[in-house]
Amino acid sequence: MHDAFRLGAKEAARLIERGELAAEALVASCHERVAAREPTVKAWTYLAREFPAANASPAPLFGVPVGVKDIFDTHDMPTAYGSPIYAGYRPRGDAAVVALTRRAGGTILGKTVTAEFATFVPRQTRNPLDPSRTPGGSSSGSAAAVADLMVPLAFGTQTAGSLIRPASYCGIFAFKPTYNVLPRAGLKPGADSLDTVGVYARSVEDLAFFAAALTQRTDLEAKLERPPRIGVCRTYEWERVQPEMRRALDDARRTLDADEFELPSRFRGLRESHTAILWYEVARSLADEFTRFPDKLDPALHQRCSDGFAFDPREYVHAQAHAAECRARLSEALGPYDVLLAPAATGEAPAGLSSTGDVAMNVVWTLLHTPCVAVPAGKSEHGMPLGLQVVGRIGDDARTLAAAAWIAERLA
């Protein structure tokens, strides 16, 4: 099948299982797509060339290719974490999710571009829908590769907005599970209490399929028994949202017959708490690199780490207490609603490659540890995608995915 690269992950796995498609043919088709598009998109840092067991790969993935953000360790591929400090580095083992992917029958196609240490420092990847624009970050390469049909599935991470925002900018789907649903072992730490492993695909069905394969949780693929009760949350950062994204959310509210919802006043200031926690923890996670290789850190990242070391530890403790209090209150605050619907980004992908975009729409949910699913919801006047995010209760990942599938079908 010459155009097998267009297949979704679950459909491809079914075809392979039935003997209607060879796994090695799917991998070869993806390689051809990468060869054609990589000079423009620049999504990959490394491509594997040999897949001796692809056709013998077990269920449930049956050899379906997966891209791995270059912030995860891979024993058989270079892992540089987006930094010149680690150029050519070869870990001795795989990150947990990479090992789980192999066990589930996935084929690791290669490593995708990440911002430096999965922070805000952009690298070379371009938005495949408009190469003059950013794909977002820090999971730039993974989002761009999935959006450009180079690979059906890919890993990303989110410490601020690094999964959900790139999905919005690139017009695809992303799943940020509840914190720690997918294991972080073998992930280069950034902010340990925020770092969340997630996945990209081109449908909610494929997100659920991949997450279920990794976790062995069949409930993640369950369907809703009734329409979800949806609250539209504009957050306390609404003034940062661009008019086109505001219209997209309003249009979705009418289409879905959703209610307006406002977070309790105690949730104000969560963005400031996130910032305090983020840079306090990142500075300490990068203490070795900051101390021994200061000239190899991006100057802006070096300054953020310097600020993080200077931060008052009492303020960090206060920020963590604020976050814990709001997590404890969240389920009750949601009241009758199964999920919330909020912007996945402040607007379309920004022009230029000097910034990966504004994280204002993401940091609250990252700090609260909630499951989030990015779904496409229209286009800007420039023809660029706009995405919304479906936000669930902590631990309610299955319902959040099912609600996102229901919502995506109606917004398509």
Closest CA to 58 of 103, 20, 7: 103
Q: Which of 29, 57, 83, 138 is catalytic?
A: 138
Q: Given 10, 42, 69, 188, which residue is catalytic?
A: 69
Measured between alpha carbons, how far is 105 from 57 in angstroms, rounded to an integer?
5
Residue 188 known to be catalytic: no
Q: Is 176 an active-site residue?
A: no
Answer whether 194's CB lies under 8 Å from 277's CB.
yes
The full length of the chain comes to 412
Q: Is 368 within 8 Å of 330 (Cβ atoms)?
A: yes
What CA–CA distance (Å, rounded) separates 366 from 216?
24
Task: Give the number of other CB atoms < 10 A from CB of residue 268.
Answer: 12
Tell me if residue 162 is catalytic. yes
Yes or no: say if 215 and 316 are a contact pair by the CB < 8 Å rule. Answer: no
* Euclidean distance between CA atoms 125 and 128, whole angstroms: 9
Q: Give the catalytic positions in this structure.
A: 69, 138, 162
